[in-house]
Amino acid sequence: MSEQSVEKNVLEIKDKSELMIDLAYSSLLYDNKTIAKEVYDLEDLIDTIYSDLQRETFEQVKNKTLSVDSALTILKLAQAGEEIADAAQEIADVQLRDVELHPIIKLSLRESDEVFTRVQVSADSILCGKTLGSLKLSSETGMQVIAMRHQNRWLYGPNKYTIIDAEDILFAKGPEDGEEHLTALANATSNEI
């Protein structure tokens, strides 16, 4: 493992752990056990990355390519990410254990600073066949797609190369007025724009 993969791993723990929080709350709001299980799988993945990172920092300190101070900082950041992932798993656990979420709590979660939404892309939506990157969905609507369902396949944490297809279901989070915009786009045909 090179120095580059140390950074890559720190970044992956950061991004994945934050995605896990969003997925966990989405699983609660939409009573979705598939998403909740993904949070568990991501937690396993983060444990593996964290173990690799621990070994690699020691190897690099031994080889004098990393200072002890830098190694400690890197592990501290990674450990914080690992703890965030654990907390996300506890949130997903509420969904998986079939505990009925108090309806008022569910309602209240929707009034969060950032709302979660789920929209289905209509067959003739202008989003169809385009990548998230080319649509600039996130910067144009403020909504970040955190998961997608394409027929029976799921995709978590899509990137700019991910293509949106007709009938896909998008799970996203963002500001309240972004939700309306995204829903409008998912239902808008090119004739309407």
Give the binding site for a copy of itself (CB under 8 A): 3, 7-8, 10-11, 14-15, 18-19, 21, 25, 66, 69-70, 72-74, 76-77, 79-81, 83-84, 86-88, 90-91, 93-94, 99-102, 104-105, 107-109, 111-114, 136, 138-144, 157, 174-175, 177-178, 181
- Which residues share a beta bridge with 150? 153
| Minimum CB distance to a copy of itself smaller for 133 or for 166 | 133
In the sheet that holds 144-150, the strands lie side by side as 115-120, 169-174, 144-150, 153-156
DSSP 121: P
| Minimum CB distance to a copy of itself smaller for 52 or for 166 | 52
Q: Whole-number minimum distance, CB 171 to a copy of itself, in Å? A: 15
| Minimum CB distance to a copy of itself smaller for 107 or for 123 | 107
Q: Which two tokens stand for residue 125?
A: 């939506």
| Minimum CB distance to a copy of itself smaller for 96 or for 166 | 96
Q: Are 171 and 19 in contact (CB under 8 A)?
A: no
C-alpha to C-alpha distance for 60 and 67, rounded to whole angstroms: 8
Q: Whole-number minimum distance, CB 101 to a copy of itself, in Å? A: 6
| Phi, psi at 99, each rounded to 5° | -75, 130
